[in-house]
Amino acid sequence: MTVPRALADSPGVGGASPFVDDLASAPSEVPHVPRWIPDDAETEASLLKEIGLTNAEELFADIPRKVRLGRMGLGPSHEEPEIVRVVDTILARNRPYTGFATFLGGRIAPRFVPAAVDAILLRSEFYTSYTPYQPEASQGMLQALFEFQSLWVELTGLDAANASLYDGATAAGEALLLSRRIHEGNRFLVPASLPWEEKSVLANYAAGTGIRIEEIPFDPRTGRLDLDWIRTQVAGGGVFGVLADVPNGFGHVDEGLLDLKATIGDVPLTVVADPLALAVLEPPGQWGADIVVGEGQGFGATPSFGGPLLGLFACRREHLRFSPGRIVGATNDADGRPAYTLTLQTREQHIRRSRATSNICTNQSLLALAFVVYATTVGPRGLADLERSLSEKARTLASALAGIDGLRAPRFDAPYLHEFTVEVARGTATGFLDRLRRKKVLGGHPLADPRPNASNPLGEVFLTATTEFVSDKEIAKYAKAARAALAHVPGSP
């Protein structure tokens, strides 16, 4: 064996044999990784003295100890490979949804992502781009964002869309603020069935503004919004906006929404819409919506651990200058060729803070690109066919669950697409879903607000859904696991 000269001349290495012996004596399970740490104890002490501290721990004094993570049980002075091994052991305790029969409902959808999506997203000109302030160097991303806006406009039936927001919940929050700009009042009406997470975000947006968020009651049989109640509240004054969702928080399609705009008159109507559902439903803009927002994660992104997400936002032309974020426009360059540029930028980074419409200071360009690549790859007919296929599976699932004593599926007498609400007659919905999970079935998403002291007007219900990954075999597995889960509830026959 020949030893490189630099190595052979190093202290402690006199030739091939000592070098081989050193390797043989090294621990096999954790390799030694030499490191150079530039700051020795003397340098560190000098740096701390310069900023008036005695030890590095004081740098974190402002963070309460009760919220610090600590050392994760690793202890001090481990080699990097040992740290990686321990962290990998911890991560191995995670159980990804792909290892379960998955029927999760809600705004975040487990959905198949064609390989073409990642292939395009991982191209360096897209993956590394951030903010296209220089249109001459950013035509590719600007065109993609323009097409993203165009797709959301087509699905919603409105006039203009922005180049994305953080997620669906914050998009609803921005719609609340836009409604306040275009109509006087201090009351914003939202469905009682709206997911508690989204109501929490809306409450954060309203905090300190004098805005009151009030919940619209629903029909206990159909889950539909109480239009008479809405009419009375609007007539009483102070309502500057009304929000509805399609499908609603119960997974059902509220046919009464077609009459909602006539009920509220000139009060702005915001609709939270599922992009896939809009492939088969009439666009909200055609039945009176002034603003349409939504969650775009299901078009091109996996659920991961709850993100990343994509906020969708569209509005009527007359509200455009009051809308948040930024808008990409199409034009022609000096030679008459098609060109794209940031046409409207209403966020606080670009104009005086007092005139900004939002403090949103970035967007989800990469996820917006995923959205447009997914939609283009699947195509309009493919999206409609997908929704119809999932809806058929949902009916098969509902039929299987309806035959189980202790479950009511669907809970409401109303049309639905690929998700619906199930009521648990014995025990709690959370306990039922926990028992399903032990059987490798993710049966759904509980609708109750889990925060301390929160009321539960919805009862013991959960939202369940179908995806492309759901097969007849998995539906049978769900039904079998449901029977076993209910059999273990005290008081069961």
| 439-470: pLDDT as tens digits | 999 999 999 999 888 888 788 999 999 999 99
If asked whether residues 305 and 404 sit together in one domain, one would say: no
Answer yes or no: is 273 within a domain.
Answer: yes
If asked whether residues 146 and 193 sit together in one domain, one would say: yes
Residue 35 has a pLDDT of 67
Q: Which amino acid is at 89?
A: T
Over 60: is that where the pLDDT of 1 sits?
no
Residue 87 has a pLDDT of 87
If asked whether residues 134 and 218 sit together in one domain, one would say: yes
Answer yes or no: is 184 within a domain.
Answer: yes
Over 90: is that where the pLDDT of 384 sits?
yes
Q: CATH number of the domain that 314 lies in?
A: 3.40.640.10
If asked whether residues 19 and 42 sit together in one domain, one would say: no
Answer yes or no: is 94 within a domain.
Answer: no
Answer yes or no: is 221 within a domain.
Answer: yes
If asked whether residues 40 and 123 sit together in one domain, one would say: no
Answer yes or no: is 492 within a domain.
Answer: no
Tell me which of 343, 375, 407 is where a domain ends: 375
Q: Give CA–CA dist 198/201, Å, rounded.
A: 5
If asked whether residues 367 and 425 sit together in one domain, one would say: no
Over 60: is that where the pLDDT of 288 sits?
yes
10-14, 169-173, 417-421: segment of lowest average pLDDT: 10-14
If asked whether residues 283 and 306 sit together in one domain, one would say: yes
Q: How confident is the model at residue 38 (pLDDT cuts 50, 70, 90)?
A: low
Q: How confident is the model at residue 188 (pLDDT cuts 50, 70, 90)?
A: very high
If asked whether residues 272 and 196 sit together in one domain, one would say: yes
Tell me which of 375, 403, 422 is where a domain ends: 375
If asked whether residues 203 and 181 sit together in one domain, one would say: yes
Q: Which amino acid is at 133?
A: Y
- Contact predicate 360/326, CB 8 Å: no
If asked whether residues 258 and 358 sit together in one domain, one would say: yes
If asked whether residues 353 and 428 sit together in one domain, one would say: no
Contacts of 249 (CB under 8 A, 6+ apart): 191, 193, 194, 195, 447, 463
Element (H, E) at 418: none
Answer yes or no: is 14 within a domain.
Answer: yes
Q: Which amino acid is at 338?
A: P
pLDDT digits (tens, 9 = 90+) for 110-147: 999 999 999 999 988 887 766 677 777 788 899 999 99
Tell me which of 349, 375, 401 is where a domain ends: 375
Q: Give CA–CA dist 329/142, Å, rounded.
A: 8
Residue 29 has a pLDDT of 59
If asked whether residues 253 and 366 sit together in one domain, one would say: yes
Over 80: is that where the pLDDT of 13 sits?
no
Q: CATH number of the domain that 427 lies in?
A: 3.90.1150.10
- In the chain the first and final C-alpha atoms are separated, in Å, by 77
Average pLDDT over residues 284-295: 97
- Domain extent, residue 17, equals 1-27
Number of domains in the chain: 4
